[in-house]
Amino acid sequence: MLIKFFELKFDLASGESLFAASLILAIMILPFITSNSEAALRSVAPEYRQAGMALGVSREYLALRVVVPLARKGMMGALVLAFGRAMGTGTKMF
């Protein structure tokens, strides 16, 4: 569907292009990044959340200043794994 759109919109002989492939791969890896990042955020010890709530900080502050920095390594790992997966899939496409 996307390739046909590129053929019609940009008046190309073939819509198969590097841009179409990269766009499809970006959409394909989003669920992978999301699920692994969520797992990294959930793996933060509940004591940190409880301590933040006991101190009276807002949920946004707790998420951005406490939980995300503690889960940063897992989230970066999710990005690296997803891009590695995309590169492995991308080489099979061409």
pLDDT, position 8? 80
In the 8-state DSSP scheme, what is residue 58? -
Asked if residue 2 belongs to a domain, the reply is no
Per-residue pLDDT tens for 8-31?
Answer: 877 777 656 777 778 888 888 999
20 found inside a domain: no
Q: Is 62 contained in some domain?
A: yes
Percent of all residues in the chain with a pLDDT value above 70, rounded to a whole number:
90
Instruction: Show the domain range for 86.
Output: 27-93
Asked whether residue 19 is domain-assigned, the answer is no
Cα atoms found within 13 Å of the Cα of residue 48, Cβ hemisphere only: 16
Q: What is the pLDDT of residue 93?
A: 55
- pLDDT reading at 82 higher than 60: yes
Cα 10 from chain centroid (whole Å): 29
Q: Is residue 22 part of a domain?
A: no
> Does 55 or 94 have the greater pLDDT score?
55
Specify the pLDDT at position 14.
66
**Looking at the domain assignment, is residue 8 inside a domain?**
no
- Total of domains in the chain: 1
SS3 letters across 4-16: HHHHHHCCCCCCC
Q: What does the alpha-carbon distance between residue 40 and residue 61 come to, in Å, rounded to a whole number?
A: 18
In the structure, what pLDDT confidence band is assigned to residue 49 with cuts at 50, 70 and 90? very high
- Mean pLDDT score across all residues of the chain: 87
Residue 4 located in a structural domain:
no
